[in-house]
Amino acid sequence: MKTIKGPAIFLAQFAGDAAPFDNLDGIARWAAELGFKGVQIPSWDRRLFDLEKAASSKAYCDEVKGILADAGVELTELSTHLQGQLVAVHPAYDSLFDGFAPPELHGKPAARQAWAVEQLHLGAKASANLGLTAHATFSGALAWPYLYPWPQRPPGLIETAFDELAKRWRPILDAFDEAGCDLCYEIHPGEDLFDGTTFSMFLDRVGGHKRCNILFDPSHFVLQQLDYLGYIDVFHDRIRMFHAKDAEFNPSPLQGVYSGYAPWQDRAGRFRSLGDGQVDFRGIFSKLTQYGFDGWAVLEWECCLKHPEQGAAEGARFIADHIIRVTDRAFDDFADAGTDEAANRRILGLA
């Protein structure tokens, strides 16, 4: 067993145009003052990070690590969630996802996808230059509009979608293998990899690629009513990243897992600030520790009610209180009578 590292914080939801959130040094010092020991950086936010420069310059990467070290934190991982989403986009979502790409690529799906793939390759090189061993992303989705089988899906539709998804991602996985870094897909509704079955379908199609791994975020499982503790039992050997994010599910006569078209605060399933929801984090930290997860516990703040700065301050303490310092001895060692092979054979009547 190993002790989980943390607390850390994903900076995507906190970066802004006002100090201290408008540059890496300021936001890193803010995080450290709250008690965070690590930060996860969104690679698309140039206020904090230059992905292209990090992919080509180890000197720049050393500068980034130096800024964080001076602030009192370290870099946990990079994220390409937005770029990963664009590796596979169903045409129904083209205009909605254009905002994830540079303006000159809007309305150009093929060029947008090529840019996204290149961004992932840059992410692999940058991770290597930074000495990182895990990277966060989304899979994108081709089959998501057909989640519910009505109208009846034509035979082979989902299989074709997953074949294509694997074809697009296999070279990227190879690039991350060359970089010595695990590519961790956040299992998330809206992506084609949204539960255990879909991850397994994808994993099979990429030949069980050793760099095809999971970013475990239990909040998305609560909203699906999926057994997130059992998920750890099944996929613990593929879980290489962990977002500590809370959620609640309160079904009513009016809403269930789909929650209609209600705004977030009125949905049956909604994200909550860490500690305010229904996720069994004691169970999660116990399971991850049991299976030897030695990555970071990273706060991802999303809440429809609470201010993000309050959520961050409370989240640092919450994670710190849940990290289990693993034991180096058995609880009943005090009663050890001491024995040897000869004594064991006598006890068993084999002497």
Strand locations in 238-323 (E): 239-244, 246-249, 269-272, 296-299
Q: What confidence score (pLDDT) does residue 110 get?
A: 98
Q: What confidence score (pLDDT) does residue 41 get?
A: 98
Q: What confidence score (pLDDT) does residue 203 get?
A: 98
Dump pLDDT digits (tens) for 108-117. 999 999 999 9
Amino acid sitting at position 351: A
Q: What confidence score (pLDDT) does residue 340 get?
A: 86
Q: What confidence score (pLDDT) does residue 347 get?
A: 87
Distances from the Cα of 13 to the Cα of 10, 16, 23, 40, angstroms: 7, 8, 14, 11
Q: Which percentage of the chain shows pLDDT scores above 90?
A: 93
Interval 193-203 mean pLDDT: 98
Q: Tokens 């962990």 — which residue? A: 242
Dump pLDDT digits (tens) for 243-253. 999 999 999 99
Dump pLDDT digits (tens) for 33-78. 999 999 999 999 999 999 999 999 999 999 999 999 999 999 999 9
Q: Say how far apart CA 17 and CA 263 lie, in whole Å.
A: 26
Q: What confidence score (pLDDT) does residue 346 get?
A: 87
Q: What confidence score (pLDDT) does residue 335 get?
A: 64
Interval 262-274 mean pLDDT: 96
Q: Say how far apart CA 59 and CA 349 lie, in whole Å.
A: 68
Residue 185 burial by Cβ neighbours in a 10 Å radius (0-12, 13-18, 19+) = buried
pTM of the model: 0.95
Q: Domains of the chain, with CATH numbers?
A: 5-347 (3.20.20.150)
Residues 6+ apart with CB under 8 A from 149: none
Q: What confidence score (pLDDT) does residue 334 get?
A: 66
Amino acid sitting at position 32: A
Q: What confidence score (pLDDT) does residue 338 get?
A: 77
Dump pLDDT digits (tens) for 224-238. 999 999 999 999 999
The residue with greater pLDDT, 327 or 96, is 96
Q: What confidence score (pLDDT) does residue 351 get?
A: 77
Q: What is the dihedral of CA 52, 53, 58, 59, to 10 degrees?
A: -170
Q: Say how far apart CA 288 and CA 281 lie, in whole Å.
A: 10
Mean pLDDT for all residues in the chain: 96
Dump pLDDT digits (tens) for 130-189. 999 999 999 999 999 999 999 999 999 999 999 999 999 999 999 999 999 999 999 999
